[in-house]
Structure 1
Amino acid sequence: MLVSEKITKIGSIAEIRESQTTGDKSLYATVEFKPGQIISNFGGKEILDRPNYLTVQIGDSQHIMLDPEFLQYINHSCSPNVFFDTQKMVVIALRNIEMGEEFTFFYPSTEWSMDRGFDCFCQSENCLGYIQGAAHLPLDVLKKYKLSQYIENRLKVE
């Protein structure tokens, strides 16, 4: 933890860390999680017909604002440690997550074509560089990831 961070506890499982320099927020584990363990249930606080940078896609024209809201601070990584299961509406651990580790997910695992692409700086060995949704990635890359049912279904019809 950096001195220039503001910390907000989220129950017993997580904390939001906010950089006092940039204002960027991230969600970190305050307990350990095992692969397959449910981290949180979630739902849609609101359903939008178009994506924005805070939504998770659940259908062609269905993009949910997350409830609980703290889940919106799970940032992208090309080597994610969590998955948004949009069928069961749970966030699950993909691998062991240590106390103090940032929660991350692979945005194209739920997003077909994002509201705005971005340069990825996750620094993982398999970093894809530019992220803009599953529609913009080759099938052989997508097959390396756990994908939402919506993305799996889109891939079958493409």
Structure 2
Amino acid sequence: MALTPTWVQPSHPQIMQVVHDSPDPNEYRSYAVSSVALPAGAVFARLSAPPLAPATKAYSSVQTSAATHVELNSDLVYINHSCAPSLEFDVAAMEIRVAADRAGGLAVGDELTFFYPSTEWDMAQPFRCRCGEAACKGWIAGASRMDEDALRGYWLNEWLAQAVREKWRKEKRKVDAVNGAPLGDNGSLNGMTPDASLAARDGKTPQPAGAQRQGASARGLAGEMGGDTKSNGTGAGEGRRA
């Protein structure tokens, strides 16, 4: 389905370009590329302008908490999914950053992508990812449909990271096989906070409070988006906004 913009285009001409790339006029395929070079962790865009609009869950929305969604009202909506994303969508800080673990940062011409389950709990339109990355997760339906191993190493918004920890705790309620240490009632390894225990299970060294960016490690307009704007199944995903 083609997306009809309700905003003046281009909305972010200094930092990105939207590509409508399809030889077939009946096929919708769109994606976004960077017009700037930035190091890993740098802010790519703020989510304050154009103003976001409260929304119900849809293929074009982004989830901002367990109960709220927004429409981006800008060309940022053309940022597609990838299982090896170039960006992180931080809905608490209201900013989009270059992925912290992206080697070499973001270069001019790089496709702009984020990991949809980093913001989405249960997507309105799940899809079969065809990003072609070695780490491709296949079926993308939201973080609630993914297990611990599938999310390990990805940056998640903090509200969502807490939700998946609670889900795993309820599902397992048994001994965690990390160093033979059992899980406590709050889903953490004994003697650790939930954030620190998640990092320990990921094989990472727990950091003192305040030393990490908000958002748990477990990767981001990732909204209830059914795939990406490349509907031919090539590139970052399949079936997203066009």
TM-score when scaled to structure 2? 0.58
Aligned length: 150
Alpha-carbon distance between aligned partners in 2 of 1:142 and 1:16, rounded to the nearest angstrom? 29
How far off is 1:149 after superposition? 1.5
**Counterpart position of 2:135:** 126
- List runs of 5+ in structure 2 lacking aligned partners: 1-9, 168-242
1:30 aligns with 2:39: no
**Counterpart position of 1:5:** none
**Counterpart position of 1:11:** 13
**Counterpart position of 2:53:** 46
Alpha-carbon distance between aligned partners in 1 of 2:14 and 2:95, rounded to the nearest angstrom? 17
Alpha-carbon distance between aligned partners in 2 of 1:30 and 1:92, rounded to the nearest angstrom? 15
Runs of 4+ residues over 2 Å off in structure 1? 8-11, 20-23
1:104 aligns with 2:85: no
1:57 aligns with 2:66: no
Which protein is bigger by CA-based radius of gyration? Answer: 2
- List runs of 5+ in structure 1 lacking aligned partners: 1-7
Alpha-carbon distance between aligned partners in 2 of 1:155 and 1:23, rounded to the nearest angstrom? 34
Alpha-carbon distance between aligned partners in 2 of 1:148 and 1:18, rounded to the nearest angstrom? 30
Alpha-carbon distance between aligned partners in 1 of 2:35 and 2:11, rounded to the nearest angstrom? 9
**Secondary structure of the equivalent of 2:144?**
helix
**Secondary structure of the equivalent of 2:106?**
coil
Higher relative contact order (CA 8 A, sep 6+): 2
How far off is 1:9 after superposition? 8.1
How far off is 1:66 after superposition? 0.9
How far off is 1:98 after superposition? 1.3
TM-score when scaled to structure 1? 0.88
**Secondary structure of the equivalent of 2:137?**
coil
Quick check: which one's strand share is greater? Answer: 1
Aligned ranges 1:64-103 → 2 under 5 Å: 64-67=70-73, 69-94=74-99, 95=102, 96-103=105-112
RMSD over equivalenced CA pairs, Å: 1.8
What percent of counterpart residues are identical?
Answer: 30
Do the aligned partners of 2:15 and 2:36 also contact (CA within 8 Å) in 1?
yes
Do the aligned partners of 1:9 and 1:15 also contact (CA within 8 Å) in 2?
no
